[in-house]
Chain A
């Protein structure tokens, strides 16, 4: 009985903690705390949701859109991935590129998230000065018989709080990885071709064959 009460109290305190964190959000939450809070919240929801566990991809996408997406700066991500061709794009093209790239990333992220199975997260202490406005937050995921996988979020401080502009999985930067493919596509089909290519990719379930 006592145990149960204690646990309930602890749970209440934890819940209150999360609430405070969410309420205070935006400006004041340090980037590492933000990553930790959001990660734990998301995996907690996945852990409880039977639909998601039985493979409801749509629900994962909704979850990512609601909880994760607000903490990303997709314009910066797209700008870095499109590289030299960004300045050659019109405002409208930039908007479309960002929109399509966002959709693709959310899908990919959701898909990766649904492979999650009770791995242990190790939130690394932030190595940065209090005055830094651009930092990397590290999270490591332990696995038996394999070296841990490192997730790194490159984050920048903005008036609306810290925003991620790149994610590195086991040392592989998403933004850097899209650079070549984007540049190739633009070279052969122009910027509109890249927008079309992204849109097509986002429409289909999975594109099987290579286009080239």
Chain B
């Protein structure tokens, strides 16, 4: 029985490898000279490989997980791992000098681990202690480290040089990965991976529908999302407000020249992130040091 599984597994791996090679040869054909993505050829190849693995294994398993398990169980699993993650979210908030947030994360951990039944329930959110999203990559970003080139890792997916270094620390300190009975740890890691993918099923379907080119869409979403996270949701604007380009209702043509003129002047490519001079920090938050970085 076990032998059969293994051989079929090996065959699966063979398919995946073949697919990877195919993807590689196809992927290397395209590069668009985007300054944020100098390894586009390689990245596209890995992206293609990841798509194949996802379609073949992770997505079907996650779909089954979502369909079979009651919603309540899924929420429990999500909360359980989210609670463990709060520990290093707190640490990272502290490293970024956000003492209040760090304290709030610490409170969350205490509340959810105790009355939340080892983290299965998220009572902290109910009483108004909001969950945060932090990691070492964001901490480095906050300290002023730029993105560096975009990188797609096999299985792990989208990243940048800065975030990759961050992720190695995330992994190094991950309480789940450092759990000792190895079989328990592996089961937990697998469960977490499947649960996370299951949570992204809707998003990935929407991506599929929205994107003209899935690779660029995913890359640009990732870069924008990380930027937003580093600034805790208030990054400097990437391009000017419509109104700075004049009224759109009348005199369309006059407006356009202005609108684009601004972008074209700085970046020869229409697509590079066109960072505006930092508008007044929009929601009353101060714009951190990193605002000038990364571009």
Contacts and interface: CB of A to CB of B under 8 A. Distances in A.
B220 A177 contact: yes
Most buried by B among A115, A145, A178, A179: A145
Interface in A151-168: 154, 156-160, 165-166, 168
A170 interface: yes
B234 to A, nearest CB: 9
B214 A210 contact: yes
Contacts, number: 164
Interface in B226-275: 227-229, 233, 235, 238-239, 241-244, 247-249, 252, 255-257, 259-260, 263-264, 269-271, 273
Given A108-B209, A146-B131, A160-B249, 9 more contacts: A73-B242, A79-B248, A86-B259, A111-B205, A111-B210, A127-B284, A134-B242, A148-B130, A176-B239
A85 interface: yes
B213 interface: yes
A170 B243 contact: no
Given A127-B282, A145-B125, A198-B212, A79 B269 contact: no
Contacts of A36: none
A84 B210 contact: no
Interface string B278-294: 00001110000000000
Contact of A158 (B214, B229, B248): B248
B78 A146 contact: yes
B39 interface: no
Main secondary structure of the interface of A (DSSP, over half): mixed
B60 to A, nearest CB: 15
Contacts of A212: 29-30, 44, 213, 215
Given A171-B224, A184-B216, A150 B233 contact: yes
A61 B48 CA distance: 31
A171 B227 contact: yes
A108 B217 CA distance: 13
B206 interface: yes
A144 B79 contact: yes
Which A-B residue pairs are the 10 nearest by beta carbons?
A171-B228, A134-B243, A84-B270, A145-B79, A83-B270, A108-B210, A180-B271, A183-B271, A145-B82, A115-B202
B225 A172 contact: yes
B208 interface: yes
Contact of A173 (B44, B209, B224, B260): B224
B14 to A, nearest CB: 22
A166 to B, nearest CB: 8
